[in-house]
Amino acid sequence: MISPAADRRAATAGGGGAGPPVSPPPAVVWRDDRLVIVDKPAGIAVHRGWAAGGDDDEPLLQQVRDLVRARVWLINRLDRGASGAVLFALDAEAAAAASALFAGGAVDKRYLAITRGHPPEHVVVDHPIPRAPGGERVPAVTELWRRDTFGRYALVEAHPRTGRLHQIRRHLKHLSCPLVGDVRYGKGEHNRLFRREHGLHRLALHAVHLGFVHPITGAPVAVDVPLAADLVHALASARAAAARDDVAGPP
């Protein structure tokens, strides 16, 4: 599990700002001869089909290809507005083997999220969701831990046991604790407050950990990706605001 201090690892990096920040380039956080894990910044689609901004946006797939100077295969997806760990393969054999790990539920995926509302301290959400918009509902399971609270908000660790589209976001909405920054499933007033008061202009969701047995070598792989600077800043700002409200007391 993620330690309670995991969200503070990038505290010296700064963050925030008056307007939407420019996405930094992706960074390689782990690599061997067959696989590579990168830290995806928020604001970048993982591949061309998810690049809603048009052809002028360079998807993560192309950026990683240029970064490692080799052809790469995308293994797992991450929403454009989210940040954190994304796995790529460096050859077709490794791509097939790594994809099978994800399909078989053999990858330990951990996320940190800021929610409006306080979910239970620990809960397993077993709630079917549509495989695609308007499609049939399929089984979906997410394990959640509440790691911190500050005012009306909470820091939550999520472990999706299945890999459905928008699964964490949908399950948080199901608990009536929507993800901050989520324009589809969240609350506009809280999204606007975090933009205005805490400098957060995207989904408050970060893929903080990937763990699996290497599909080619059999060696254990466990990679942690510190929170992005804008999330570190937003957390610190929201915590400070909650502390001020506690001191001031009710009006």
Structure tokens at 74: 């995308």
- Beta carbons of 237 and 19 less than 8 angstroms apart: no
∠ CA 220-226-229 to the nearest 5 degrees? 160
Report, as residue numbers or ranges, the catalytic residues.
79
- Beta carbons of 207 and 225 less than 8 angstroms apart: yes
Q: Give how far Cα 153 sits from Cα of 27, 43, 156, 222, 250, Å.
A: 30, 23, 10, 29, 17
Residues forming beta bridges with residue 109, ordered by sequence position: 210
* Closest C-alpha among 115, 147, 144, 104 to residue 127: 144
Question: Can you give the length of the chain in residues?
Answer: 251
